[in-house]
Structure 1
Amino acid sequence: MSSAETATAAASDARTERRAKRIAKHLTSFAQQHGGSADAVVEYVGTAATRIVVVGADGAWGDQVAPTYAVGRRAVAIAGLTLHDDFEGELGLKVKTGPYEWKRMAGIQLGG
């Protein structure tokens, strides 16, 4: 690898780390507001984004978008969240939904 390629790779790694740290602040704040810990799943949204679904200890949930899968996984690691491979089983059972979510889901099913 040439020195120019090495410099480009180092700049890319630094950019990834900065983005991950910025997102991790939001994830850490969410966890602190919802019981002190949280679980997360990193999912591909498409070629230009990744979604981090976060479930707090109290069952509250939210999401954060990251520019890449690597940034999403790194942000979860920096925030100290428990990373899951998928959103099934025990993690799904932790989620508490309210009237808003039920109304939205019903509206989608009914074509609203």
Structure 2
Amino acid sequence: MKKLTSTVLAIVLGGSLLLAGCSSTDSKVSDGINQMLDTTEQLSKAIESGDQAKAKEVGPKLEDQWSSFEDDVKKDNQDLYEKIEKYLDPTIAGSEADTLDKKALSTLNNQLTDALKELKDKTK
């Protein structure tokens, strides 16, 4: 009986640890998405106002934010990973350009924002 109790306890404990690990990954992805959405909103405001200095400051933050959780997205949501990658690099490059192309950068930023929102909905 003691052996059975120990086995059941070990299974319950192992399952709990496994679930805690999954929750940690989900939280990391969710937090990362929210940070990126905040940044795309800041970038949108900079684009609308024509504030090139602010766009150059905000845009590159997206890469660091994305790199903190992109491997988890790539593993679990390959299609959305590719969609975000498609818009991320051009958005960052546009934000760092010497001349702010408001129309093109706004379009790219909106597409990136939409892809991030899609990922957020899928990971709820």
TM-score when normalising by structure 2: 0.34
Bigger fraction of residues in strand: 1
Bigger fraction of residues in helix: 2
Q: Whose RCO is larger (CA < 8 A, sep 6+)?
A: 2
TM-score when normalising by structure 1: 0.37
Greater Rg, structure 1 or structure 2?
2
